[in-house]
Amino acid sequence: MADQFVWGWILSSLLALVALFGMAVRKPRRDGISRRSECVKSVAAVSGECRSDNGGADVIIVGAGVAGAALAHTLGKDGRRVHVIERELTEPDRIVGELLQPGGYLKLLELGLEDCVEEIDAQRVFGYALFKDGKHTRLSYPLEKFQSDVSGRSFHNGRFIQRMRKKAVSLPNVRLEQGTVTTLLEEKGTIKGVQYKTKDGKELTAFAPLTVVCDGCFSNLRRSLCNPKVDVPSCFVGLVLENCQLPYANHGHVVLADPSPILLYPISSTEVRCLVDVPGQKVPSIASGEMADYLKTVVAPQVPPELYDSFIAAVDKGSIRTMPNRSMPAAPYPTPGALLMGDAFNMRHPLTGGGMTVALSDIVVLRDLLRPLRDLSDAPTLCRYLESFYTLRKPVASTINTLAGALYKVFCASPDQARKEMRQACFDYLSLGGVFSTGPVSLLSGLNPRPLSLVLHFFAVAIYGVGRLLLPFPSPKRIWVGARLISGASGIIFPIIKAEGVRQMFFPVTVPAYYRAPPVKYEQD
């Protein structure tokens, strides 16, 4: 068996490298600067309208969710004058964005925001438990090298966001205002600011050298700044299970159910979030009772027995929520005066809970890029300089994005025998322990943002599955299934890698912007 794994690693490496070198390098789109949607308006067109007194802000941030609030605090702490415009300042109530991976918590520490997970009854998370066909295994985060408080955190999303907003506005140079941004204001190809409507319906404009759009997955501004290709592979149906004990305390639980996974994790000391994945964009009707029937007859028998009664009680209570799961590769148009961040910029299937980790990592990258600059007013020069942001963010973002998309496809049930074997091989591979579990979990948790390591582990799973088929005695049928397993694995991961950008993921040092220095006229003395 040991020889099989060694040869598996060698073969998977060769397969990955051959395929990667053979794929066409995606060229960045640059035609978007001249293609503006209805969300962009000329500055001259609004010259007669009211203007807000934003105190000569350096940066306007559209949206005060996780990304917007964290960015506002980060830039404010660096001395920038920040104007944040958020459509709704009451506490959000969402069923996603509730699990922060250890890699994301490390970014919170780096940004000085770790106290935002305090006083909200957040729960520490130390790993995952995986369930399939009555069997289960525990996968622990490799946290031995970190200080004792480093772990995952799970919580109510709204409580976390409110803490972040409070932290941001505690800085005197950060202004948080309720309003809905309707358009970006443009002058000669450069975004100069925004037009927005206040809570009382007043139309105002605000101007700043840099506008950062992070208004979430429902963004109405992203089309003017990127080429959005949003895929909705499934929907989450959310429930809250009360006063129950998970089989593994302080762990996320993933049930490889039919037709697709079920997630469970604590969000407070008395509540467990349950997310049932339903493939496709249409879910059973909640109003007609079809959803409750589906949850009781199809889903409930597949949850861990310890949680069955609490699951049924949650269904009977009727507080059932749904949320489309969106996936969108980052495909930005480098635009002078503007930048996209958060879910407005890049989304992945929320199965692995990596969204907040990607957003916080992006903020660290942007903070470090902006620190050498005193003045942001030369928008074209700043835009060329900030193109390096899209490359520097790739190790973390592309690893988490690719893993989320690949795992979701592997974890979903399928009538195809090759896909069944891949799913079983993944469960058995992770159950082996040692490097076979810590490697993939460190990728999932954001602790090891190395795309090549992801590809190696993915194909190691495929080779392991082929080995299970061929040993001890191969047959023509088993050989055929094994060949389709390898082909299917390639068909899962390589399109995701292509969408992420092969060159940026694996060969970032070949991208000219990787080495771009700050504009000379703005360098510190």
- Which band of pLDDT confidence, cut at 50, 70 and 90, is reported for residue 248? very high
Residues 157-176, mean pLDDT to the nearest whole number: 97
pLDDT greater at residue 224 or residue 4: 224
Residues 78-104, mean pLDDT to the nearest whole number: 96
CA torsion, ordered 19, 22, 25, 26, to nearest 10 deg:
-70
Residues 145-158, mean pLDDT to the nearest whole number: 95
What's 347's DSSP letter?
Answer: B
Contact indicator for 100, 152 with CB cutoff of 8 Å: yes
- Which band of pLDDT confidence, cut at 50, 70 and 90, is reported for residue 368? very high
Residues 57-81, mean pLDDT to the nearest whole number: 97
Q: What is the mean pLDDT of the chain?
A: 89
| Side chain identity at residue 397, one-letter code | A
What is the DSSP pairing of strand 99-100 with strand 210-213?
unpaired
Residues 223-237, mean pLDDT to the nearest whole number: 93
- Which band of pLDDT confidence, cut at 50, 70 and 90, is reported for residue 291? very high
With 0-12 CB in 10 A as exposed, 13-18 as middle and 19+ as buried, what is 329? buried
In the chain, what percentage of residues exceed pLDDT 90?
78
Q: What is the pLDDT of residue 176?
A: 97
Q: What is the pLDDT of residue 514?
A: 78
With 0-12 CB in 10 A as exposed, 13-18 as middle and 19+ as buried, what is 26? middle
Q: What is the pLDDT of residue 321?
A: 96
pTM of the predicted model as reported, rounded to 2 decimal places: 0.90
- Dump pLDDT digits (tens) for 317-365: 999 999 999 999 999 999 999 999 999 999 999 999 999 999 999 999 9
User: How far is the C-alpha of 223 from the C-alpha of 225, rounded, in Å?
Assistant: 5
- Dump pLDDT digits (tens) for 449-482: 899 999 999 999 999 999 999 988 889 999 999 9
Residues 283-300, mean pLDDT to the nearest whole number: 96
Q: What is the pLDDT of residue 509?
A: 83
Q: What is the pLDDT of residue 6?
A: 37
User: How far is the C-alpha of 304 from the C-alpha of 311, rounded, in Å?
Assistant: 10
What's 352's DSSP letter?
Answer: G
Contact indicator for 125, 250 with CB cutoff of 8 Å: yes
What is the DSSP pairing of strand 82-86 with strand 174-187?
parallel
- Which band of pLDDT confidence, cut at 50, 70 and 90, is reported for residue 178? very high
Q: For residue 515, what are the contacts with CB-CB under 8 A and spacing of at least 6? A: 388
- Dump pLDDT digits (tens) for 17-38: 444 434 433 334 434 444 455 6
Q: What is the pLDDT of residue 21?
A: 39
- Which band of pLDDT confidence, cut at 50, 70 and 90, is reported for residue 53? low
Nearest CA to 206 out of 8, 69, 311, 57 is that of 57
Separation of CA 112 from chain center: 21
Q: What is the pLDDT of residue 217?
A: 92
Separation of CA 470 from chain center: 37
Residues 239-266, mean pLDDT to the nearest whole number: 96
User: How far is the C-alpha of 60 from the C-alpha of 414, rounded, in Å?
Assistant: 47
Q: What 3-state DSSP class applies to 474? A: coil
Q: What is the pLDDT of residue 47?
A: 56
pLDDT at position 46 over 70: no
pLDDT at position 3 over 90: no
User: How far is the C-alpha of 247 from the C-alpha of 210, rounded, in Å?
Assistant: 48
DSSP-derived secondary structure for 96-135: SS-EE-HHHHHHHHHHT-GGGGTTTT-EEE-EEEEEETTE
Q: Is the peptide bond before 472 cis (omega within 30 degrees of 0)?
A: yes
